[in-house]
Amino acid sequence: MPSLNFKGKALVQNFHLLVPYHELKLVKSKSLSPKVSLHDNLVVHGDNLKALKSLLPYYHGKVKCIYIDPPYNTGNEKWVYNDNVSSPMIQEWLGKVVDREDLTRHDKWLCMMMPRLKLLREFLTDDGVIFVSIDDNAVNWLRGMLDEVFGEVNFVATVLWQKKYASSSDHGGIAPMHDYILVYRKSDRFKRNLLEPTLVSDEQYKFEDERGIFRVSDYTCNKTAEERPNLYYAITNPNTGKQTWPKKTRVWAYSRTEHERHVEEDLIWWGKDGQGAVPGFKRYRHLLKGDGGLVPSTWWDFEFAGHTDDAKKEFREIFPSSGSDDFVTIKPTSLIERILEIGTDKDSIVLDAFAGTGTTAHSVLALNKQDDGSRRFLMIESEGYTGTLTAERIRRVIKGVPKSKDEAL
């Protein structure tokens, strides 16, 4: 069977076995429970390889779902290779920033990822699953490595997440609109869940035509004509011949090309009599089947799983004085909640070894609140903001910051 080869592979293939166990020091939080144990929700500050090795005796084979959002290896993240492998070549890599000019950056990234993925696999239950976010810079390398670590037979899907709702008008090439989420199971015992139909209320499916029952969603987005001039254009109602423009403060959610496709596929709604002045978008319910649930697909648009602007807005609501732009790969809770809905039970343990701003933990808490679940999370983050941001976000969410819309009324 073909295998992935890279510089340093022979040196790191078994490095996860050589990493020593480190003592985990429990830090009590005055703002939460006065008693802390390894059986609680945990936020671990430290190198994720060392932390994983230290947590493994407690959680081996117990984690139902893993989500990680590792460095995308674009050359702009300024991540540093820190694995102290006993090799002159890798010793020279230690402590050095991996940038775009580094001719071995893909080798270093793969050397960093392999021992972590091998340890992560050991955490999963036999029916467990791992979701890994990535973009075009490393998706091919990651797919090959996941095939090797988890087995090609355990590949589940490549999800395309529409991380933006509009392309950048000033992009010099072809503007990227999506990220990938690679999904692998531990074994064939994994069974995906159907998504709850309450994601979209049944009552919203009010209309029906020869193609089926559908609901109508807004055809605009919360951007101005100045911000997205390519989304400010006239649309003609084919039944009346009248043109309609969006507001300059809220332009169309789709480009001209996408709109033309919607017209060809008869996805535009002009009201019951066809005389409406403003278009809507038809969303058919024919994907709903089985026990009243939604069968997950590999296409997650921004209405289904949120987008990067949602993520930044959530972050600013919790940390009004912090700059969300400092975290360019921050994810929305709606994205992680979809992952958890597909890959967890109500009492599952969820692990994120690249915890960042704490979105995964936030999503676990939010989903527990929605379905009265008792999921627990294990978060690992190496950066210095682990206590002041990652853990603090969790504290604020537990305390009700930000307030829900109902509470704010």
Check whether 403 has a pLDDT greater than 90.
no
Each residue's pLDDT tens digit, 65-92: 999 999 999 988 889 999 999 999 999 9
User: Token match 């930000």: residue?
Assistant: 402
The predicted model gives 48-59 an average pLDDT of: 96
Each residue's pLDDT tens digit, 99-124: 999 999 999 999 999 999 999 999 99
CB count in 10 Å sphere of residue 409: 6
Supply the mean pLDDT for the chain.
89
Beta bridge partners of 357: none
Domain boundaries, the chain: 39-194+296-408, 199-284
- Going from the C-alpha of 43 to that of each of 27, 39, 110, 344, 385, the distances in angstroms are 10, 12, 25, 20, 12
Q: Which residue has the higher pLDDT, 349 or 175?
A: 349
* CATH superfamily placement of domain 39-194+296-408: Vaccinia Virus protein VP39 (3.40.50.150)
Each residue's pLDDT tens digit, 204-236: 788 999 888 898 989 998 888 998 899 999 999
The predicted model gives 303-330 an average pLDDT of: 81
Per-residue pLDDT, 406: 35
Compute the Cα dihedral for 42, 48, 50, 53 and give only its sign: positive
